Amino acid sequence: MSAAARTLRGQVAVAGIGETPYYKHGGSPDPEFKLVLKAILAACRDAGIDPRTVDGFASYSNDRSDPARLAAALGVRQLRSATMQWGGGGGGCCAAVANGAAAIHAGLADCVVVYRGLAQGQFGRFGQSGGEPTVSGDMAYQMPYGVLAPPQKFAMRVQRYLHEHGIERPALRAIAMASYHHAQANPRAVMHGRPLDEARYEAARWIVEPLRLFDCCMENDGAAAVLLVSAERARTLAPKPAYILGAATGAEYRAAASPHAAPRYASANYSGVAADLYRMADLGPQDVGVVQSYENFTGGVVMALAEHGFFAPEEANDFLRTENLLAPDGRLPLNTSGGNLAECYMHGFELVLEAVRQVRGTSTSQARRSDVALVIGGPMVSPASNLLLGSENTL
């Protein structure tokens, strides 16, 4: 089979999306497993598909909701595929969708649910250092020097990137402002009704330079799911399909070299992954109308957008202005549901659902150009992943 024939482009579609209410970390009234079941059932209702006909599951970031247990709870008649994206944390949110789509395209499953669930009151808070008796790997080079939490580790990469390319703080601020602006139109968003202005952003406490409070993602409880079927089947269902145009995952040369010794240290780790994505989709950045980019920290978004070709790093100060990032008519509407900063930090999976809404035309902050929607997973991790979704017009 030729390389051109080995593609997901136009072969699989998102037929349904579902989510629970989103809560502040520790605030869920339900256990994690129940949250995931609720999101899956909501995705099945959205697609008009009997949950008993689901035959595959896919997730990432070591999700604790076991596929076999989910299958039993849902009454699934036969479980045929179960995949977990290895490594990369939130960088795997798009790879999980690609893995589910690949199972369908290969004939290993017919109907795959991709999901992520979090109940931190039940299992403990993510991103908080515990009392580990020993450490190994990358953290062995960091914890002895007080680098305990993700903001500390990633701030060093961001600071280096800002310095190398002369990027100023207003570029970071614009990303936060856009996310909070869009959240005010989204009643699902945790920060709905809590707008952010420039004065409040600048007055917020430092977390670790160059990151202030509103440069950092929230921590939340909840669950989200998407339902994948073949493109042919999706056309027979009621919701407007969002077709997979491209998907990619991977890492640059020695991206995870320890300790903090990657050759391209100040990078989101997306240059090669972006090239693979555009090659599969036969598209370029000029074709993308709206972007959902994982904001663990605003600096990572700057890096990721540049590595996906929307601007050169030296152009970031001019491009990353709040008005350019707002729906409907900004140059590149960004994180139109509020993203990790202001809708919910479902380890980035809520971004996939919002990309589907954009393609369907049902977002609370609809972009004028939404036939091609890009999702960028967690930056500055290995492996990273991304996803392009499109309407029927793009096939």
Q: Which residues of 216-253 are buried (b: 16+ CB within 10 A; e: fewer)?
A: bbbbbbbbbbbbbbbbebbeebebbbbbbbbbbbbbbe
Distances from the Cα of 140 to the Cαs of 143, 154, 305, 366, in angstroms?
6, 16, 31, 45
Q: Where do runs of H (alpha helix) occur along 166-270?
A: 169-183, 198-203, 231-234
Quick check: 289 and 394 in contact, CB under 8 A? no
Q: Which residues of 97-108 are buried (b: 16+ CB within 10 A; e: fewer)?
A: bbbbbbbbbeee
Q: How far apart are CA 196 and CA 243, in angstroms?
A: 34
Q: What is the DSSP letter of 240?
A: P
Q: Tell me, yes or no, if 145 is annotated catalytic.
A: no
Q: Which run of H or of E encompasses 102?
A: helix 93-105
Single out the catalytic residue among 60, 161, 180, 294. 294
Q: Identify the three-state secondary structure at position 151.
A: helix
Q: Tell me, yes or no, if 294 is annotated catalytic.
A: yes
Q: One-letter amino acid identity for 179?
A: S
Residues designated as active site: 294, 345
